[in-house]
A and B are shown apart, each in its own frame.
Chain A
Amino acid sequence: QVSAALKKGHVTPTELCQRCLALIKSTKFLNAYITVAEETALKQAEESEKRYRTGQPLGVLDGIPVAVKDNFSTAGIETTCASEMLKGYIPPYSATVVQKLLDQGAVLLGKTNLDEFAMGSGSTDGVFGPVRNPWSYSRQYKEKPVPESHPEDEASNWVITGGSSGGSAAAVSSFTCFAALGSDTGGSTRNPAAHCGVVGLKPTYGLISRHGLIPLVNSMDVPGILTRCVDDAAVVLGSLAGHDPKDSTTVQDNFKPFELPSLTDVSKLSIGIPKEYHAPGLSSEILALWSKAADLFKNAGANVIEVSLPHTHYSIVCYHVLCTAEVASNMARFDGLEYGHRSDMNKSTESMYAATRREGFNDVVRGRILSGNYFLLKQNYESYFVKAQKVRRLIANDFMKVFRSGVDILLTPTTLSDAVPYTEFIKEDNRTRSAQDDILTQAANMAGLPAISVPTALSERGLPVGLQFIGRSFQEKQLLTVAKWFEKQVKFPMIELEEVKRHDHGVFQHQKSASFS
């Protein structure tokens, strides 16, 4: 809708950019952005405006404000990964996905907040502080009574965004941008998408280039896409997917961007409901919503069957071992010598490295590096690392078996509950939380499958709940088509933010529009 408005001249890219920048300022308390690239964004908007005036926009994304998670390298713009280790680091190149967006004319507003090095499930462990879920300030959440709360507590009742791409999710959810990039290693895009009421897409591993994405787990990382509606996600996917010679893990298949058909007949679809996803700790609300969704498909004529993915329970353990092992390897590059923080200690090379890493990494990162090194010790390699790799094959095979038996799409919950208040969340440590929260999203990363979280309904506390669809490898078109149908059926409500209402006028209507395509 916004793109059409830009084409018709109802709003100009610079106006749009300025509105977004102003909104970012007024929603600063959300702490969604680490760096706001005001000057470059306005410049990009001006260039875009010139193109529209001469009737030659680069495409649907021309002039659309976007945000990028701060673990993607952006040339000339500070990239920190929310860590002391990279504070002040300005990359000399841009990640392929960032460059692709810029080449399409998108306006990069800034870098969003995350958990340090994308390790976490709450976006609370970065050095720039936690991200607040915009829904904490929505009328829908505020009007609900909170048990055992006092009026003074109101300011501290805010809930987390989920993680680790919390900043990106909050940015999209609070209307400061129309699309954002996140990364997904264990659910880091889908988890905050579900908690913030936006669409979170994890593409198939190998579809989108990871060049420039500061790696966490090379065999599972993918760039994730966060938008307000499924059609937008398809548009962004279309501009990002495809082989990249700079990333040897991207497949060479020809990728054709697609438009999503409006599905009317789901009778030929086979929807699988994996029973193991009825995990302990799943809230009864979400269980009920999951059932309702299954019924929705059934009543529309689809074939809805229960399926089994027997190794689901071990997916999180397997992830724990493989993730820490790859992290131990990937974090070895941070030694202070070529870039990033460097300690003043200079007695010897090794002691400088050790001091730099002590000063640069937080507890979570250090913990994972040490665990990873433990599992990779010669005496442990077979029994932990290789064992985990074998279990990984079993998990991937589980999915293969189910898809081969005729199931097209799996339907599962995305999270165990709606967003919890920050004060609740921090009572448990990062590893425990990650182990709990990633349980439903992690297996898709293990098997490299595409998955999408679609906002479904509001919980009793007035907070968003999302449901997840998992598809076959490289079948994003089918996955998104089904997601779009579902999105249309559930009609998820728009967030009602008081700040946004205050600035309400013509141009803003475009901003609040659900989609830009």
Chain B
Amino acid sequence: QKVTVDVLDHLERLALVDFRDSEGVERLQKAIQFADQLHEVNTDGVEPMDSVLEDRCLYLREDDVTEGNCAKELLKNAREKVEEYFVAPPGNIPLPKLEERDTYLQSS
């Protein structure tokens, strides 16, 4: 089954990257086709595996402060900042709907 434009739009918003052109969409289709091979395997009664270290206990250290206080160094890499804040453009403005966006999907 082909992926619908709705799902493609949904993906673009979730991932915040765009399918620049038809090649991008093709790539996804091929990826899905490739992944469909998984359904040939019988996994009845098999538990999903999150990590190869699942049989071990996670290391927990004491809840003591051992490092930090490096705000100046961390801010060095940011392009826009004010005092100790990272500055972002206004939030709470949704991305334009598909009909209003200038992307490949709109024209397809």
Residues of chain A whose beta carbon lies under 8 Å from any beta carbon of chain B: 89-90, 92, 205-206, 219, 243, 245, 248-252, 311, 314, 317-318, 320-321, 324, 328, 335-340, 342, 345-354, 357-358, 361, 363, 366-367, 369-371, 373-375, 377, 383-384, 386-394, 396, 429, 431, 435, 447-448, 473
Count how many chain B residues have C-beta atoms less than 8 Å from C-beta atoms of the other chain: 56
Q: Which 4 A-B pairs have the closest CB atoms?
A: A448-B52, A389-B48, A348-B93, A339-B77
Closest B residue to A335 by beta carbon equals B16
Evaluate contact between A340 and B77: CB separation under 8 angstroms: yes
Evaluate contact between A348 and B24: CB separation under 8 angstroms: no
Evaluate contact between B24 and A349: CB separation under 8 angstroms: no
CB distance from A388 to the nearest CB of B (A): 6
Known contacts A317-B38, A370-B17; A348/B90 CB under 8 A:
yes
**A248 to B24, alpha carbons, bound, how many Å?**
36
**A452 to B56, alpha carbons, bound, how many Å?**
25
User: Contact partner of A448 among B24, B30, B53, B86, CB < 8 A?
Assistant: B53
Evaluate contact between A317 and B37: CB separation under 8 angstroms: yes
Closest A residue to B90 by beta carbon equals A348
Evaluate contact between B49 and A393: CB separation under 8 angstroms: yes
Evaluate contact between A390 and B34: CB separation under 8 angstroms: no
User: Contact partner of A92 among B3, B43, B46, B73, CB < 8 A?
Assistant: B73
Evaluate contact between B89 and A249: CB separation under 8 angstroms: no
User: Contact partner of B18 among A320, A354, A431, CB < 8 A?
Assistant: A354
CB distance from A476 to the nearest CB of B (A): 15
Evaluate contact between A320 and B31: CB separation under 8 angstroms: yes
Q: Which residues of B contact A252 (CB under 8 A)?
A: 56, 59
Known contacts A366-B24, A390-B49; A348/B17 CB under 8 A:
no
Q: Which residues of B (43-82) have their CB < 8 Å from a CB of A?
A: 43, 46-53, 56, 58-59, 61, 70, 73-74, 76-80
Q: Which residues of B contact A392 (CB under 8 A)?
A: 48-49
Q: Which residues of B contact A357 (CB under 8 A)?
A: 16-17
CB distance from A355 to the nearest CB of B (A): 9
User: Contact partner of A391 among B3, B7, B41, B61, CB < 8 A?
Assistant: B41
Q: Which residues of B contact A390 (CB under 8 A)?
A: 43, 46-49
**A393 to B50, alpha carbons, bound, how many Å?**
9
Q: Which residues of A contact B94 (CB under 8 A)?
A: 348, 350
Q: Which residues of A contact B53 (CB under 8 A)?
A: 205-206, 249, 251, 448
Closest B residue to A324 by beta carbon equals B31
Closest A residue to B21 by beta carbon equals A363
**A251 to B38, alpha carbons, bound, how many Å?**
31
Q: Which residues of B contact A375 (CB under 8 A)?
A: 35
Known contacts A357-B16, A390-B49; A92/B39 CB under 8 A:
no
Evaluate contact between A393 and B31: CB separation under 8 angstroms: no
Evaluate contact between B27 and A431: CB separation under 8 angstroms: yes
CB distance from B45 to the nearest CB of A (A): 9
Q: Which residues of B contact A349 (CB under 8 A)?
A: 88-91, 93
Q: Which residues of B contact A206 (CB under 8 A)?
A: 52-53, 56
Evaluate contact between A369 and B17: CB separation under 8 angstroms: yes
Taking the complex as formed, is B97 at the interface, i.e. its CB lies under 8 A from any CB of chain A? no
21 contacts between A and B (CB under 8 A): A92-B74, A249-B51, A252-B56, A252-B59, A311-B41, A317-B35, A318-B38, A324-B31, A347-B93, A350-B91, A352-B88, A353-B16, A363-B24, A366-B18, A367-B27, A367-B31, A370-B27, A374-B32, A377-B7, A388-B35, A389-B48
Residues of chain B whose beta carbon lies under 8 Å from any beta carbon of chain A: 3, 7, 10-12, 14-20, 23-24, 27-28, 30-32, 34-35, 37-41, 43, 46-53, 56, 58-59, 61, 70, 73-74, 76-80, 86, 88-95
**A318 to B34, alpha carbons, bound, how many Å?**
10
Q: Which residues of A contact B7 (CB under 8 A)?
A: 374, 377
Evaluate contact between B78 and A338: CB separation under 8 angstroms: yes
Known contacts A248-B58, A354-B17, A357-B16; A387/B39 CB under 8 A:
yes
**A22 to B59, alpha carbons, bound, how many Å?**
45
16 extra interface residue pairs, beta carbon distance < 8 Å, beyond A337-B86, A339-B77, A347-B89 = A90-B76, A92-B77, A245-B59, A245-B61, A314-B37, A318-B38, A321-B35, A345-B89, A350-B91, A353-B16, A354-B16, A358-B17, A366-B17, A370-B19, A393-B47, A396-B52
Residue in B28, B32, B52, B94 with the greatest tally of chain A CB atoms within 10 Å: B52
Q: Which residues of A contact B38 (CB under 8 A)?
A: 314, 317-318, 321, 384, 387-388, 391
Evaluate contact between B11 and A374: CB separation under 8 angstroms: yes
Known contacts A252-B59, A338-B77; A346/B20 CB under 8 A:
no
CB distance from A395 to the nearest CB of B (A): 9
Q: Which residues of A contact B48 (CB under 8 A)?
A: 386, 389-390, 392-393
Evaluate contact between B79 and A342: CB separation under 8 angstroms: yes
Known contacts A251-B53, A369-B15; A346/B89 CB under 8 A:
yes
CB distance from A113 to the nearest CB of B (A): 22
CB distance from A377 to the nearest CB of B (A): 8
Residue in A205, A348, A429 with the greatest tally of chain B CB atoms within 10 Å: A348
Closest B residue to A310 by beta carbon equals B41
Evaluate contact between B61 and A367: CB separation under 8 angstroms: no
CB distance from A117 to the nearest CB of B (A): 13
Known contacts A248-B59, A354-B17, A392-B49; A370/B43 CB under 8 A:
no
CB distance from A433 to the nearest CB of B (A): 13
Evaluate contact between B11 and A370: CB separation under 8 angstroms: yes
**A132 to B28, alpha carbons, bound, how many Å?**
30
Evaluate contact between A92 and B17: CB separation under 8 angstroms: no
**A347 to B79, alpha carbons, bound, how many Å?**
16
**A393 to B27, alpha carbons, bound, how many Å?**
28
Q: Which residues of A contact B3 (CB under 8 A)?
A: 374
**A336 to B10, alpha carbons, bound, how many Å?**
22
Evaluate contact between A435 and B90: CB separation under 8 angstroms: no
